[in-house]
Structure 1
Amino acid sequence: MLNLLAYLYTFYAEGRNHSFEIAKRRDDLLSFNAIIIVSGDGLIFEWLNGICERTDKLQILENLPVGIVPCGSGNGLLASVLAYHKNSLNKKGFENRAIQLINNKEALSSKVNLMHIEAGERHMAAFLSVGWGLLADIDIESERWRSTLGQNRFTAGAIVRTIKLKTYNGSDQQKNANEIGVFSKNDAKAFVEYEKMLHRISGVLRIALENTPISLSSNYTVAHNYEQIKRVIEIATKLKFETVIDLYEMLTAPISKVMDKWFESDVLKATIATDGVIGFAASPFDAGTGYVLLHHVFGNLDNNPGSWGFVYGGMGAVSDSIRTVGQQLGVDFFNNSEVAEILIDDNVAKGVRLASNHELYGDKIFSNCTPEVTFNQIIKKGVIKDQNFNHSINNINYTSPVTKINVALSELPNFTSRPDAGKIQPHHQTTIHLNCESMEIVDNAFKDYKSGIASKRPVIEMTLPSSVDRTIVPENDSNAHVCLLFVQYTPYELATGLWSDEDKKNFVNRVFTQIDEYAPNFSKSVIGYDLLTPKDIESTFGITGGNIFHGGMTLDQMYWLRPSKNFFDYTTPVKNLYLCGSGCHPGGGVTGRPGKLAAIRALKDK
């Protein structure tokens, strides 16, 4: 056996998806007699999925047998093949049988059916089973104990997950079709194809949004430009002409036009179209709203395209997690410490001065404030000499039409369309859109805003995070809930002047009364609320214009132009000063990408 192994070509899987890439890209696979995989089912899965990405996959699958030397925890595929041959994993000799394949393709072999699994934009080949929910979580989460517990990790994982049971809410396409079919049978069919189109586009768009904007310049090294060209090719290879046309339309057309092309029901068209105007001071009939919808589809929580999620413990838990990890690494944190000035000497950022006059110094300085706050408020006027840069920063549009209303409730909203008797139902755990039965209603709300008044019938986006996370409500009150309302359109200032307390009270009453039209128990269940107009958001959180995206998400303020031409790579005219907030690429949404990409850029500048 050792003599025979000396004639084998051997490669080692150096990390996740390494064997996938080898299987996908090697051009000499048919010159081998067989592939022997010394591993468990995971490496076999990677190998076969890599093969299935090839144009010659059928030829390779038919002519290149796979031998298995079982070194995994379960070795399920080999166990199944052996059982078919009335054999068992408990018997010895697997190594010899695998080696025999080199000279004899019929040596204890069995053809195996592959399943094609389609999950949104992701396509996979599977050979045993497809898991989702509890068992899948146990398998994945127990991986951390592989080196210490071995096969016993599954038992440990099952115990932990059983103690911490959670609800699994899957997508039910048939149920979606049934609901949409109430308004239009044609739309129920079209919706499936529409979703596929969005997933195709977002898959390509995600490559662009998850990486620093492509830049080819004589100022960069040959190696840098080579990497940029590789990325262009990667994007191009994923593009079918049909996808290019769909993407072009979404980037340029009003979302109303896209909806009219796909659907006939006003309710469905307007409900989907609201994602094209959320946080955006525009009507669904305005150009640019198609891209805003696409940006929302960019979400990809747990590999579910188009999905976003609630943070357990509330959004503050994100900051707490960052602090916890940072403290473990020896990072110092200064809470409630306002930065008064970024300290710059000879155009090099040296540190910051706090409002308390305490000064902190570092080799690299990062700002996740808006560009307006960073360059016009905490950097002294006249320090940045690049007038083109200053001009572009001063002309960023921060307009926001959004008022946030956070509400404490004594009970769940009970919608007349879905009576629930106080029990949490699937619709409570989604995003609920109100006042959007037609695009004309949304457009009228926008026209009110343009006239300088809060919309008479505002678009309301409601979420109920407490329907998923009970840690954010009192432990002893099983009926209490938190309701978050994202309401538009509301001006930064009214035509009559600044928002008065009376204006705010009247607007809240209007919103609550209109929610009562859908859920009659809403107003009477309100325990308390907190209202934040765009100006309140600005003054409370330091977010310019109250724009949660740190600048409008229009195409003229994205990619190479976010925040400014020539400074889209997280650098600034000041050496060692970097932007890492939503005011730079890829923009708004809690993605973590601006921070990660800024850190990568700073590391390259060592």
Structure 2
Amino acid sequence: MERHDAIVIGAGLNGLVAAACLARAGLSVLVLDRASAPGGIACEHEVAPGYRLPRFTLGSGGLPPRIVADLDLPRHGLRFIRAEGGVTCFPGGEYHASYRDGVVQRREIARFSRVDADAFTRYRRDMLRAARVLAPLLAGPARPRRKGLFAGLRARLAKADRISAMAPADLHGLLRLATLPASEFLDSYFESPHVKAHLAAAAMMGATLGPCSPTSAARLVLPWLETAGDAMGGAPETLMPVGGPAALVSALRSVILAAGGQLRMEAEVTDIRIKDRKVQGVVLANGEEIGADAVFSGLDVKRSFLSLFQWKDLPEGLVERVGRVCMRGVAAKLNIALDAAPDFPGLPEGCPSLGGGLRLAAEIPAMQRAYDDWRARIPPRNPLIDVFIPSFLDPSLAPQGGHVLSALVQYVPDVLHEGPWSAERRKALGDLVMTRLAEVSPGMEKHVVAFEVLLPDDIENEIGLTGGDFSYGATTLDQLFFNRPFPGTGGAETPLRNFYLCSPSAHPGPLVMGGAGANAAAALLAAKRKEART
């Protein structure tokens, strides 16, 4: 029987990061995926011939610098484009742009309020301060790998010492971020509703929270996690791999193959072999068995345990714990091919912020009403829409003169209270988004070559992501850090020996791209080092 040191189920970004880390450490690694091409939710898709974009994700963002450096991805062809932080367009023609340059950013905010322009300096300082505290917590397991009463006690005391050593201002700021609604937190800095809505809109994308929900302020710090403290004094930038997410997937695949790892596509894992709560290998849909010293799952937590194991083989109570994990779809994805560049007459000509994306948003009370509709499972009436036109930065993604547009529509229920998503409702959602786009780019609808709407149910059916939840589990505080994927874990290790969770269902979730995969690989490598010492 074929055997490997590690098998990774799923060739999404986190699975590929885990496999790359393990392969570079000298382990024999096999990646298995039922799809025909790697990438998972970041897989490349032609919405029309020659028009390339990620089918399910927006397409912006990149891996943290530490992962890029550890895997030496630039040597495998990976390059990034740095863009401004994007622009928010409001009903009535107002807009608010973000700029990396502090002087330009201050001038932009001063259009709405000189008081807010001064306040942004304080806001930026506080965001960077919080990011410096949070970044180390997101870069490793939330729960120390300590076994035994005294070892666990020492770990907890060490964590308590770190908390007590924090400056009072840092601790106070973290507590406010962790508990307040984003709306109340922003009220303590700014007076302009447009400035507050601009910042809130970026934070709420992908969240199962509204801007007035308690604890939602914590999401405001996310764009700042990879921003250097000595940067240009403005807003966080937007990163995009040259060639889109497909280039990132290609670079990770190259690392795995160069280190002797293997990828097998169209190889669906249907069962995991287990004996005495110790994982021993996998079984494919064709009946083939492959042995492994360790198995990593890049699937969401529900699929990982409830579909890959016989429930009778799982520890008592585990099925119930997994079942209680909240996974709900909150966004739809639209992919649009255009035969000409969209024009945005309400923005300054050549506005550089447009390269970082475009958000169509209303003021915070309207955002909260959209969230309330989602909770009531009502089709969106005034959704928050996040738009990215990657071909502005990388023309190779479309034929000459053409462009591709990705849009995530926030607060789209996975299930409606009044019945399923019908073809008519799907069309109505697409028409609503197109109408909103035409308000900021008149005539765009005349240049549409192809247009598709993917609802949460489509995402679940096509790639097996429970509920179509892009976050692989709600990112509320009760499902983050040591509570992710469920209370008492906070890492990649599971109650089953040699079975690791490397998807965003594990800490740090979707908050750090590739972080769950890197943490899972580190957990196995640490265990092997410990075995070697004993």
TM-score category of the 2 structures, normalised to the smaller one? 0.7 to 0.9
Per the TM alignment, residue 603 of structure 1 is displaced from its structure 2 partner at its CA by 1.8
Q: Which structure 1 segments of 5+ residues have no match?
A: 1-140, 145-163
What pairs up with 1:104-503 in 2 under 5 angstroms?
171-215=100-144, 219=148, 237=165, 239-300=166-227, 306-387=236-317, 389-420=318-349, 425-436=351-362, 438-474=363-399, 477=400, 479-503=401-425
Matched residue, 1:10? none
Per the TM alignment, residue 410 of structure 1 is displaced from its structure 2 partner at its CA by 2.1
Deviations 1:542-570 (A, max 9, x none): 11111111100011001111012333231
Say which SS state the counterpart of residue 425 (structure 2) adopts.
Answer: helix
Contact in 1 for aligned 2:481/2:507 (Cα 8 Å): yes
Q: Aligned in 2, Cα 1:495/1:457: closer, same or farther, shift over 3 Å?
A: same
Say which SS state the counterpart of residue 460 (structure 1) adopts.
Answer: strand
Report whether the alignment pairs 1:536 with 2:458. Answer: yes
The CA distance in 1 between the partners of 2:424 and 2:279, in whole Å, is 45
Deviations 1:396-447 (A, max 9, x none): 1112321111211223332222154xxx6412211321122x1112122223
Deviations 1:262-321 (A, max 9, x none): 111111111111233211232211112112222343244999695452122222332222
Q: Aligned in 2, Cα 1:288/1:216: closer, same or farther, shift over 3 Å?
A: same
Q: Aligned in 2, Cα 1:165/1:591: closer, same or farther, shift over 3 Å?
A: closer
Q: Which structure 2 segments of 5+ residues have no match?
A: 1-68, 73-78, 85-98, 529-534
Per the TM alignment, residue 497 of structure 1 is displaced from its structure 2 partner at its CA by 1.6
Say which SS state the counterpart of residue 180 (structure 1) adopts.
Answer: helix
Q: Return the index of the structure with the highest Cα Rg.
A: 1
The CA distance in 1 between the partners of 2:502 and 2:469, in whole Å, is 16
Per the TM alignment, residue 220 of structure 1 is displaced from its structure 2 partner at its CA by 7.3
Contact in 1 for aligned 2:361/2:367 (Cα 8 Å): yes
Q: Aligned in 2, Cα 1:566/1:443: closer, same or farther, shift over 3 Å?
A: closer
Contact in 2 for aligned 1:363/1:576 (Cα 8 Å): yes
Contact in 2 for aligned 1:557/1:563 (Cα 8 Å): yes
Q: Aligned in 2, Cα 1:204/1:311: closer, same or farther, shift over 3 Å?
A: same
Report whether the alignment pairs 1:597 with 2:519. Answer: yes
Matched residue, 1:523? 445
Matched residue, 1:131? none
Contact in 1 for aligned 2:377/2:413 (Cα 8 Å): yes
The CA distance in 1 between the partners of 2:80 and 2:180, in whole Å, is 45
The CA distance in 1 between the partners of 2:333 and 2:512, in whole Å, is 17
Per the TM alignment, residue 345 of structure 1 is displaced from its structure 2 partner at its CA by 2.2
The CA distance in 1 between the partners of 2:272 and 2:333, in whole Å, is 31
The CA distance in 1 between the partners of 2:80 and 2:315, in whole Å, is 58
Q: Aligned in 2, Cα 1:528/1:590: closer, same or farther, shift over 3 Å?
A: farther
Matched residue, 2:42? none
Q: Aligned in 2, Cα 1:276/1:340: closer, same or farther, shift over 3 Å?
A: same
The CA distance in 2 between the partners of 1:173 and 1:536, in whole Å, is 42
Q: Aligned in 2, Cα 1:590/1:240: closer, same or farther, shift over 3 Å?
A: closer
Contact in 2 for aligned 1:339/1:354 (Cα 8 Å): yes
Matched residue, 1:572? 494
| Amino-acid identity (%) | 27
Contact in 2 for aligned 1:349/1:365 (Cα 8 Å): yes
The CA distance in 1 between the partners of 2:164 and 2:242, in whole Å, is 38
Find 1:553's aligned residue among 475, 498, 510.
Answer: 475
The CA distance in 2 between the partners of 1:489 and 1:167, in whole Å, is 28
Deviations 1:219-247 (A, max 9, x none): 2785x97677667656655x321121111
Contact in 1 for aligned 2:479/2:485 (Cα 8 Å): yes
With a CA cutoff of 8 Å and minimum separation of 6, indicate the structure with the bigger relative contact order: 2
Number of equivalenced pairs: 435
Deviations 1:499-532 (A, max 9, x none): 1222111111111111211121322222212221
Q: Aligned in 2, Cα 1:166/1:338: closer, same or farther, shift over 3 Å?
A: closer
Please identify which structure carries the higher strand content: 2
Q: Aligned in 2, Cα 1:419/1:274: closer, same or farther, shift over 3 Å?
A: closer
Contact in 2 for aligned 1:342/1:353 (Cα 8 Å): yes
The CA distance in 1 between the partners of 2:160 and 2:394, in whole Å, is 41
Per the TM alignment, residue 391 of structure 1 is displaced from its structure 2 partner at its CA by 2.0
Say which SS state the counterpart of residue 513 (structure 1) adopts.
Answer: helix
Deviations 1:71-115 (A, max 9, x none): xxxxxxxxxxxxxxxxxxxxxxxxxxxxxxxxxxxxxxxxxxxxx
TM-score, length of structure 2 as denominator length: 0.76
The CA distance in 2 between the partners of 1:247 and 1:559, in whole Å, is 14
Per the TM alignment, residue 359 of structure 1 is displaced from its structure 2 partner at its CA by 2.0
Say which SS state the counterpart of residue 198 (structure 1) adopts.
Answer: helix
TM-score, length of structure 1 as denominator length: 0.67
Contact in 2 for aligned 1:386/1:573 (Cα 8 Å): no
The CA distance in 1 between the partners of 2:81 and 2:372, in whole Å, is 44
